A and B are shown apart, each in its own frame.
Chain A
Amino acid sequence: MSLIKAGMRWMILIIVVLLLTGCWDRRELNNQALIFAWGMDLKEDGSYLATAQFPIPRELGDSESAARKASFTITGSGNSVYEAAKDLQTKVSRAWFAGHRRVILIGEKLAKKGLSNIIDEYSRNPIVRLRTDILIVKGGTAAELLSLSYPLEQVPANAFFRIHEAAGTTPDLTLLKFLMANASEESCPVLPVITAQNDSNSKLKLWGTAVFNKDTKLVNYLTLKKGMIVEWIKGELDGTIRTVKIPSEEGNMVVEINHLSTKVKTSADENDNIRIQVVLGAKGVLRENNTHLDLFQTKNISMVQQYMNDQTSTEVKRVIKEIQARGTDILGFGLSVHRQHPQQWKVLKEEWPQHFQQAKVEVVVKINLEESGMTGPSIGQKKSEIRS
């Protein structure tokens, strides 16, 4: 027993010594600069420019100074992400901490050059969250956008995130989806696009979607509307609105659609000709009626539905054509072929971009207009104008 007691005493001694000499990783909050947003740009000489946005805690706590700017940005340059970040550190009085970095902005120039070199750091560091929103700055640099102030949010960094969130997507998953598409053999990655604008208090605007090729180089932009159609085809969209033009009437109708569904049927013959059938389904609720049609009439409803389906399908076809022309499969067609014809995929995958470009796509839209709202005919119209 004495041996045990002696051993225990030694162990307690070791613990005490460890405790007293410990604190290797201890960093006080008031010695840290918390990075909330991060920007990467390409400089003229080919090196990277990193921009970090820090909140100023002193300004946040005091309610009286709410009018003052509560964040500031600092830039640093280097030949790799981490090098630029270390350069940045020489300009900040406190050690920066990236554990709360939710937003990464990437300048257009850098996006065109390719992201593969910078994306690694964002998933390697265990402190950094993989749950990050990553946005492309159209027609500008990340540094510019990060230095804008945004009065609604305590920290401007949150504005990027929340604007993206308000558009109906899960911004948390942006980086993950990008990485997954990039790593896959079928798909090409996309990223959301944000842009600076000058016409209102809000200096930011969510612009659309940026399409990348397999080398993570920016290929082209899609507007928000087209981007939504892409998401619909991929089955990631929750809901959107459609404007229906009624040829016989002046004016249009606006239908809000939700419960979106997607079915992609693929077939490949022995010559590797690919046929793809996209069936898009949804339920619609009429939100606005600027025409003379009386929507208590079933035939009018089915007419609106018919027009809506035709117009939507034309639009979807146009978007698909546009994407096909570039050979960047962001629609998940490759995945569908892979899943539905796994044996043939082994051959097809070698030259998938070409096959994708040449694939024959057929689009069927089945939106079911279920509700026409609280009124039948438009209330704003004279009785004589209403047509059943």
Chain B
Amino acid sequence: MAKGENIHRNDALPEQQLNPSLYQNEAYLKEIFQNCSDVVFRPLHIEGRMHVLIIYVNGLVDTKGLEEMLLQPILTAWHNPELDKLSYFKELIAQQALAIRQTALVNDISQIVKGVLNGQIALLTEGETEALLGNMCEYEKRPIGEPGTESVVRGPREGFTESISTNITLIRRRMRSSKLKFEMTTVGEMSQTGMSIAYIEGIVKPGILQEVRKRINGIKTDAILDSGYIEEFIEDTPHSPFPLVQNTERPDVVVASLLEGRIAIMVDGTPFVLIVPMTIWSAIHAAEDYYEHFIYTSGIRLLRFILLSVSFLLPSLYVATSTFHPQLIPEALLLTIAAARENVPFPTVVETLLMEVIFEALREAGIRLPKPVGSAVSMVGGLVLGESAVRAGIVSAPTVIVVAFTGIASFSLPRYNLGLAFRLLRFPLLLLAGSLGIYGVGFGVIALIIHLVNLTSFGVPYLAPVAPNLSSNMKDIFIRMPRWTMNKRPAFLVDENMVRTPAGQDPAQNKESRK
């Protein structure tokens, strides 16, 4: 974007002082809010003369509270001579209207407009050049529910909602420390979306925090509708298919990440909270890994790594071995494959690509369609396409098995977006395998490794702590060691306050000392 180019924003009003005449103010504001049917102008006429004007957005404000706490006291005190004075209202609010959380006096119309649009009520009186803004923000919210994308068997079931204040509460409830900070800003010239940068002071590296602030403040766009908007603006390498910013719906994941020295970026209007810096391992680890027993978790993690390689490599290895190096397949298996392939009209690469595309289509259709139709799609896809295609000899059964296993394997990744990256990269790798065999696969894998080792997320290497290697931090990568052995925070994220759990808490040791 060229410098100086301005984004259109409707509330970029010139500074305009309030007029002592309430009527003029009303006219001016009504012009601004022309055709905004949700903006309510509520004048209070006393003895035929307008004394007070209350402005708010319907639905953003606790209307019932407004009625009870503000309007009724005003009306009962209508004869009070001080009714024109703002100071009176301020006192009134302070004494009675406890539902109003913050008040402020402003004298600029643009600020009034901004406040009203943010869910505050504006109170203007005759003869004063200041207005009172009171926060009574309250709107319809989705109740806290189980996160849809990261469900667990064991562990907390609360997920974030679309409301940032609820989300902050969810985090604060898990972290009652004054070191936990939430820095509020707004992003989006038109949408004025509220954002919060959460971190734990004393753990987070100041350099990374500064970088996050810098990148977020640098965002200039009209509106932010989801944290995904933010993500694309603050990535280190935008052209990488790999997610460089983690997102989660789970407050426990956010708190755990904060404790590792990461920073959470919360955006109003979406339940997805961003976590930076991200490493690839956090996409392979699930929240539940930390709640289940460590032996079980370690096994599951190893399985996940195998499945990850399967989801990435299996189709290409199948193509490479069966069309380039059949000597690598044991005889019995080779004969079976050869028998199945006998009548298939396509080359194996084309066949596999075809099945992969069909599979991806099924998957996509399953997500987008309404649930009842979705099951019909999977019926048609799985039974009709798969079964009859094999029967008709258009595709071979081994190919269907390979593609199906690949699909299942790619579902096993806890984070959807890393799965997406590997899903996408599978296709170029398939082409490489189809033209250069195992060597092509090796080429692809090396290229992927080069890409991955050079990725960074907010300056932290994407593969840390494996490459560059920090063996002291390997307790929580491929396996998970018991909690009492993971004494320190990750060294690639944290400089100070390293100790999490003091050493020497091995329960077996305690048992011995009890004897």
Task: List A residues at the B interface (Cβ < 8 Å).
Answer: 18-20, 22-23, 25-30, 32, 34, 36, 55, 57-58, 60-62, 97, 99-100, 102, 127, 129, 154-155, 158
Contacts and interface: CB of A to CB of B under 8 A. Distances in A.
Contact of A30 (B342, B432, B436, B440): B342
A273 to B, nearest CB: 51
A130 to B, nearest CB: 12
26 contacts: A22-B435, A22-B440, A23-B435, A26-B347, A26-B349, A28-B341, A28-B347, A29-B326, A29-B334, A30-B338, A30-B342, A30-B343, A34-B335, A34-B338, A55-B335, A57-B335, A57-B338, A61-B339, A97-B326, A99-B327, A100-B331, A100-B334, A102-B331, A127-B327, A154-B332, A154-B335
Contacts of B338: 29-30, 32, 34, 55, 57, 60
B384 interface: no
A129 B327 contact: yes
Given A27-B323, A61-B336, 18 more contacts: A18-B436, A22-B440, A25-B324, A26-B435, A28-B323, A28-B347, A28-B348, A29-B334, A29-B348, A30-B338, A55-B335, A57-B335, A60-B339, A97-B327, A99-B325, A100-B326, A102-B331, A127-B327
A61 B342 contact: yes
Contact of B339 (A23, A25, A57): A57
A89 B339 CA distance: 21
B17 to A, nearest CB: 50
Contacts of A32: 326, 338
Contacts of A127: 327
B48 to A, nearest CB: 73
B331 to A, nearest CB: 5
Nearest to B337: A29
Contacts of B440: 22
A287 to B, nearest CB: 34
B344 interface: yes
Contacts of B326: 29, 32, 34, 97, 99-100
Contacts of A28: 323, 341, 347-348
A72 B436 CA distance: 32
B362 interface: no
B138 to A, nearest CB: 51
B342 A155 contact: no
A19 B342 contact: no
Nearest to A62: B339
Interface string B426-462: 0000011011110010000000000000000000000
Interface in B284-328: 322-327
Nearest to B320: A26
B334 A30 contact: no
Q: Which of B344, B349, B436 has the most chain A CB atoms closer than 10 A to its own CB?
A: B436
B340 interface: yes
B113 to A, nearest CB: 44
Nearest to B397: A61
Given A19-B432, A25-B437, A58 B342 contact: yes
A73 to B, nearest CB: 17
Interface of B: 322-327, 331-332, 334-344, 347-349, 431-432, 434-437, 440
Given A99-B326, A155-B335, A26 B434 contact: yes
A57 B342 contact: yes
Contacts of A154: 332, 335
A230 B435 CA distance: 51
Contacts of B432: 19
In the complex, the 6 A-B pairs of residues with the closest C-beta atoms, listed nearest first: A22-B435, A99-B327, A61-B339, A57-B338, A57-B339, A60-B339
A101 to B, nearest CB: 9
A61 B332 CA distance: 12
A209 to B, nearest CB: 26
Q: Which of A18, A19, A28, A62 has the most chain B CB atoms closer than 10 A to its own CB?
A: A28
A14 to B, nearest CB: 12
Nearest to B331: A100
B105 to A, nearest CB: 52
A61 B323 CA distance: 19
Contact of B435 (A19, A58, A60): A19
A23 B323 CA distance: 10
A186 B437 CA distance: 44
A55 B331 CA distance: 11
Contacts of B323: 26-29
A94 to B, nearest CB: 11
Contacts of A27: 323-324
Contacts of B349: 26
A223 to B, nearest CB: 31
Given A19-B432, A22-B435, A23-B434, A60 B335 contact: yes
B321 to A, nearest CB: 10
A62 B344 CA distance: 15
A158 B437 CA distance: 28
Nearest to A127: B327
Contacts of A102: 331
